[in-house]
Amino acid sequence: KLAGLRICCIGAGYVGGPTMAMMALKCPEVVITIVDISVSRIAAWNSDVLPIYEPGLDKVVKACRGKNLFFSTEVDQGIRDADIIFVAVNTPTKKVGMGAGRAADLTYWELAARRIASVAETPKVVVEKSTVPINTAEAISAVLHGAGKTRFDVLSNPEFLAEGTAMTDLDNPDRVLIGGNMNESGKAAVAKLADVYAHWVPRERILTTNVWSSELSKLVANSFLAQRVSSINAVSAICEASGADVDEVARAVGMDSRIGSKFLKASVGFGGSCFQKDILNLVYLCQSMGLADVAEYFHSVVMMNDRQKERFVSRMIHGLFNTVTGKRIALLGFAFKKDTGDTRESASIEICRRLIEERASVCIYDPKVEADQIWMDLTAATKLDKTEVQKYVTLCDSAYEAASGAHALAIATEWDEFKTLDYGKIQEDMVKPSFVFDGRNVLDHDALRELGYIVYAIGKPLDPKLNTSINC
């Protein structure tokens, strides 16, 4: 049924790359071209070292590349040849102008839409894969029909994959959501896209709806997920003040089938390119609709997240006898979560920025994040130049190197390898008393205490040896 179908995806990033690779694997009769304006990104997709790390991605790309999956910078050609065009460009938070700090910046989207309008000669189905504010499909439709010479059907098909598990999420999604217009050509476009997914996703998991519901669902899904994290993190502060254990509370609460156990892990705070951006986008939407109280409700999720990062740093400072100035701190993990090299909005960045502000000496180790990325993130966050940042920050090739001579270890990302380090050996090279601040609750705290460490873990009964005179 799909033979001869040609798909183009504009944007070869964390979403465009994995989603199209999975589609190519599952639909061998469809030819898929992913285009991007970034020459270096496309070159990397065509090389042995892909531009993003995602478990299982390598294998799928290598199986399909050059057969029915192509990576190219020929954006116009890709558009011209395609029947269906996915747009998976970035939609960051606006930095300047109206709505700065909250609204989505749709510049990249509009540029892509104008490109489609100017080169498309035959009817196209244009699919919003990026996360966008509600009403974007309508605005994009206006751009396409105003400037284009053919018919366009604009669909919303938000992506729900999580980085780190993208390939399994794409292989076996909880649901695929497709929003379209309710007219005849809209319905036909929805059916065409649904047929593609039906190659591997059971029909009952392919939901079709109107575009506004589809666009709003994505923002709401991310806001709800982030809200659970902020809720359990708020509880973690109560646990520390009261002596309760956040994991025990989460277990008891999560076994209620109405609540469920997922996303109840207390931590140093959520990161990633999406949660904060999408909540702020929802907040802006509420504000522009005059729903100030609803906006405030969702905004508190982001505020709680910021507070959690600050709480963690405060625990470190107070624990280390009220100052970290000149003290070496090993920061383990820089990615926003395990199994990805992505650092966007990573809690590590803010922790590191605060430690630099306190004039600590920070030694960072992450198994996947590139050095250039860390320097870029830290210069942007601190507004210092690289040489200035390097006065306070050193990058290390292993956790052991980072910890050597350190006063404290701070776990900022839950990488599996941090669980199996030889903490006895590590402690030999650390300043005494040696501290561990577990921002992900992944270590065996009792075993660490037996080795002589003073341990702080999020939402756990406080170590009597830790300075806890101040509630954080």
The answer, yes or no, to whether the previous bond of 433 is cis (omega within 30 of 0) is yes
User: Which residue lies nearer to ligand NAD by CB, 93 or 361?
Assistant: 93
Q: Residue holding tokens 């366009």?
A: 152
Tell me how far, at minimum, the Cβ of 364 lies from ligand NAD, in Å: 22
Neighbours of 77 (CB within 10 A): 14
Distance CA 173, CA 159 (A): 10
Tell me how far, at minimum, the Cβ of 274 lies from ligand NAD, in Å: 5
Which residues lie across from 6 on neighbouring strands? 31
Which structure tokens are listed for 437?
């601040």
Which structure tokens are listed for 178?
């497709």
Q: Rounded to the nearest 10 degrees, how much is the dihedral formed by the CA atoms of 310, 314, 316, 318? A: 180
User: Which residue lies nearer to ligand NAD by CB, 90 or 230?
Assistant: 90
The closest residue (CB) to ligand NAD is 13
Tell me how far, at minimum, the Cβ of 107 lies from ligand NAD, in Å: 8
47: Cβ contacts below 8 Å, ≥ 6 apart: none
User: Which residue lies nearer to ligand NAD by CB, 113 or 194?
Assistant: 113
The catalytically annotated residue of 9, 239, 274, 472 is: 274
User: Which residue lies nearer to ligand NAD by CB, 143 or 249?
Assistant: 143
Tell me how far, at minimum, the Cβ of 43 lies from ligand NAD, in Å: 12
Contact between residue 156 and residue 164 where contact means Cβ atoms under 8 Å apart: no
Contacts with ligand NAD by CB under 6 A lie at 10-16, 36-38, 41, 75, 88-91, 108, 111-112, 130-131, 159, 161, 163, 273-274
DSSP string, 7-61: EEEE--STTHHHHHHHHHHH-TTSEEEEE-S-HHHHHHHTSSS-SS--TTHHHHH
The verdict on whether 9 is a catalytic residue reads no
Which residues lie across from 177 on neighbouring strands? 207
Which structure tokens are listed for 83?
């029947």
φ, ψ (nearest 5 deg) of residue 88: -125, 45
Tell me how far, at minimum, the Cβ of 324 lies from ligand NAD, in Å: 33
Which structure tokens are listed for 447?
């075993």
User: Which residue lies nearer to ligand NAD by CB, 91 or 382?
Assistant: 91
User: Which residue lies nearer to ligand NAD by CB, 75 or 448?
Assistant: 75
Q: Which residues are catalytic?
A: 274
